[in-house]
A and B are shown apart, each in its own frame.
Chain A
Amino acid sequence: MRPITFALASLALASSVAAERGSDGHVSIIYWQAPSILNPYLSGGTKDIESSSLILEPLARHDEMGNLVPWLAAEIPTVKNGGVAADLTSITWKLRDDILWSDGSPLTAEDVVFTADYCMNPDGGCAQLADFDNIVAVDALDGSTVRITFDGPKPYPYAALVGATTPILQKNQFENCVGAKAPECTAENFGPIGTGPFRVTDFRPNDVISLEANPNYRDPTKPAFATVTFKGGGDAASAARAVLETGEFDYAWNLQLAPDVLANMEAAGKGAVVSAFGTLVERLMVNLTDPDPDLGDMRSTRDHPHPFLSDIAVRQALSMAIERDLLVEIGYGKAGQPTCNVVPAPAVFASSANDGCLVQDIEAAKKLLDDAGWAMGADGVRAKDGVRLSILYQTSTNAVRQDFQALIKQWWAEIGVETELRNLSASVFFGGDPGSPDTYQKFYADIEMYANNFEGADPEAYLGNWRCGLDPRPDTQWQGPNVPRYCSEAYDALLSEMSQTGDIDERARLGKAMNDMLMQDFVMIPLVHRGRVSAHADSLGGVKLNTWDSELWNVADWHRVK
């Protein structure tokens, strides 16, 4: 054991001593969605957050295992080390003392305070505002200490200024860009000064970013690359091709392609496909309310329960008829795992109580429907009291999702459920336009399919989505996260309990209990725990795919393999 460790350590030492900033020349990255802006506070898009993570850094972030690691902070504040107040109402961050901005000036607590105020400004339209929920004040205690005070106990205080979504901006640069002026600062938003390994030399919105190594980066041997090209645009297939087949690029992001297509490209031998799992789950949402067009304004609201999906037997039968292994094989390959939970990770929160769904059981599903009184009709569709099991099943347009729709339609046909498929343009489906009938929130369908996840490693806010009263309805302009229109007093009680609980084991127990409740009520039918798939050239070393933070989180360690 020891010799191996020693060998590894000396190897690491050797490489870090030998390396010199910029000695590995140029690296090129392709994202098939092009970044529009380099200020993550003004755009919540993944492409924008990840590209700006080359330049901007947060106080702390999650590593590839999901553990919190200090980044610009000297250590992670906890109750134990006194960083988090015993009553959980404040957290105090201590900055590292060796951090310089790329213009040579030192990072101070003022910058951190400014960043928080910048986002919390009511006129700024900050996209990351939810991370700053419950914050009452952010104060600089001295030049390198910042205290964040909450309006009550905050059992999980690591949302604000942690992770790639909320990095630290330089006060000096953004001082005149606060509030309503935020969008006018084009030069600042396109070329933020950061503490990260690279700085921008040219930014072409929605096209390409050119960067060079930050001369003031804290580690004099890093980054290994002198320049970076970050290209955006096209589609996943062509990005994969550019890395795996033609070798024009070194790294390609989020390659959601059919597994055999990807495997075939990888076989060209120029690069490797890497994958890692976060909390993203592709699921079916069940509409517990009636989407009948004749109801007019009352369509898909809690006033009218669904004619047959309000019967739990039907919902359960729909879930039992699905063979999740096959869905994974067809759609995701290595980048997917069949799942029966809506909270599939981190490990402490992952329940095993619902794993029965992993096995498809058409016969049991039929029996369940028979017992519930849904009798098979002459047309092969079950019915009870004149209500036919006929489902409108919608999702966004995407090759894998359409394959899933076709497969699931056939399985449901086998148990006597008729399905009409509908696919919608993603910009309409995921848009919140209350004038459109086709948004996922309006849910003018019986079943819909999409993927969702939560940020960071704590699911409390995520589980809070299914609280009573958060259902989209006309008087909320059809906004609201409770898409299935679920409401259970027992569930809400567990949520309240969780918001008062700081102990991680106890939180895990509550989280699992809520997950199990949702699963055993079949208001959501999870299908696939989806991973992130990216690809890098064989000559690119140091890639550690991280689904808990930006994929480019450790770009300072990337290097050329010789």
Chain B
Amino acid sequence: MLQYTIRRTLFAIPTLLLISLVIFLLLDLAPGDPTAQLPLTIPPDVKEKIRVSLGLGEPIHIRYLLWLNQFFVNEPLHILSELTAMDLSGDRQRVISWQTRSPVVDIIVQRLPQTLWVVGLSYVVGVAIALPIGIISAYRQYSWFDQIGTFVSMVGFSVPTFFTGVLLIVVFSVQLNWLPSIYDTTLVVEDWNSFVRQVKQMIMPVMVLALYNAAQISRFMRASMLDNLNQEYVRTARAKGLRERVVILLHVLRNSLIPVVTVIALGIPAVFAGAIITEQVFKVNGLGQLLIISIEATDLPMVQTLTFIFAVLIVAFNLVADILYGILDPRIRYD
């Protein structure tokens, strides 16, 4: 397994380079223009000068190599200089966003806290409620608990967040006036009062997203549990006189986790990608909002860097999932 992990990690490097190239080509091919959002009162020749000043005059392979150099050489050097307080990066150009004219990585770092707080927490909450619901629904298949669980999760998944988010705002912010409708990203938690405010502004976006995630994960958990509950080994375990709790939680659950692990591992990179719609609805302004407005503004350095970071996470977490398969089911071999 260790050998497999090392081999996969090494293989990930050319994979990621290839992915970065494909993303770059795709972004270049996609129609769009960094000056599209400027008012029509700005004449076309001025827009053309802006495009040239952004480096769009260069041919594509130069721009790609430039980005590679900026991202893989200059950015790490810059981080090193920050850490060691030595000037290693010198005059090296970092990856600069076209929209804000500032280093892309700084903005991403600035956005991480609210994304992790809201989207990350909602994922944790989602998983935490999905697993027990899935297990109980399967164990007591067709009980009232199962029926309600099925109904809620199906409605939760099929009603999009652009609707549930607005519904919650109308009920809890407008009608009841309990919760703020706009997330304050400048809020610093330093005492009890600010902590309460932070919790208040997080409740709605976290709940909307958690419902959506839980709906999906609990369905896979339930289905997989059902598959395993009727296997011979369960009968054997029960026949051996093991307690029901042990049978379910140790034997059945472990064997049922493979699809669930897959889904969760696919979901974690998505946490870092933010939740585009929910972030927009609640004005959380995390990484999801950053990605969508950068795409709308054709801010290619930003989109390229963000997408590439997601790609790294996707490759990494899929590797984690593959390793977990081996732990959950030792019979699985990769060769």
List residues of chain A with CB under 8 Å of any chain B CB: 30, 34, 36-37, 39, 42-46, 122-130, 180, 182-186, 189-190, 202, 204-208, 210, 229, 231-235, 237-238, 241-242, 245-246, 248-249, 268, 426-433, 435-439, 441, 450, 452-455, 462, 477, 479-481
Contacts and interface: CB of A to CB of B under 8 A. Distances in A.
B198 to A, nearest CB: 16
Interface residues of B, number: 58
A125 B52 contact: yes
A206 B285 contact: yes
Given A185-B101, A206-B285, A454-B41, 20 more contacts: A34-B293, A36-B100, A43-B38, A127-B42, A129-B49, A130-B41, A130-B46, A186-B106, A206-B290, A231-B283, A241-B169, A241-B174, A242-B181, A245-B174, A427-B32, A428-B31, A430-B37, A431-B36, A432-B33, A439-B33
22 contacts: A34-B285, A36-B297, A42-B101, A44-B35, A44-B42, A125-B53, A128-B42, A183-B101, A204-B110, A207-B110, A207-B111, A238-B182, A241-B174, A241-B181, A242-B181, A426-B37, A428-B31, A431-B36, A436-B31, A439-B31, A453-B40, A479-B45
Given A37-B100, A242-B182, A206 B293 contact: yes
B44 interface: yes
Interface in B152-177: 166, 169, 173-174, 177
A190 B182 contact: no
Nearest to A179: B53
A130 B35 CA distance: 15
Contacts of B37: 45, 426-427, 430
Given A45-B37, A206-B293, A433-B31, A127 B281 contact: no
B280 A234 contact: yes
A435 B31 contact: yes
A248 B181 contact: yes
B87 interface: no
B298 A186 contact: no
Contacts of B53: 123-125, 180, 182-183
B50 A427 contact: no
Given A248-B181, A433-B33, A208 B285 contact: yes
B227 to A, nearest CB: 43
B323 to A, nearest CB: 37
B82 interface: no
B100 A206 contact: yes
A432 B31 contact: no
* Top-10 shortest CB links A-B: A125-B53, A436-B31, A431-B33, A431-B36, A479-B44, A44-B38, A205-B100, A183-B101, A186-B102, A207-B285
B234 interface: no
Interface in B132-170: 166, 169
Interface majority SS (helix, strand, loop, mixed), chain A:
loop
B313 interface: no
Contacts of B297: 36, 427
A301 to B, nearest CB: 17
Contacts of B32: 427-428, 431, 433, 436
B281 A238 contact: yes
Given A124-B53, A189-B101, A431-B35, A130 B43 contact: yes
Nearest to B41: A455
B186 to A, nearest CB: 6
B48 interface: yes
Nearest to B28: A435
Contact of B36 (A34, A43, A427, A450): A427
A452 B41 CA distance: 8
Interface string B40-79: 1111111111111110000000000000000000000000
A185 B53 CA distance: 15
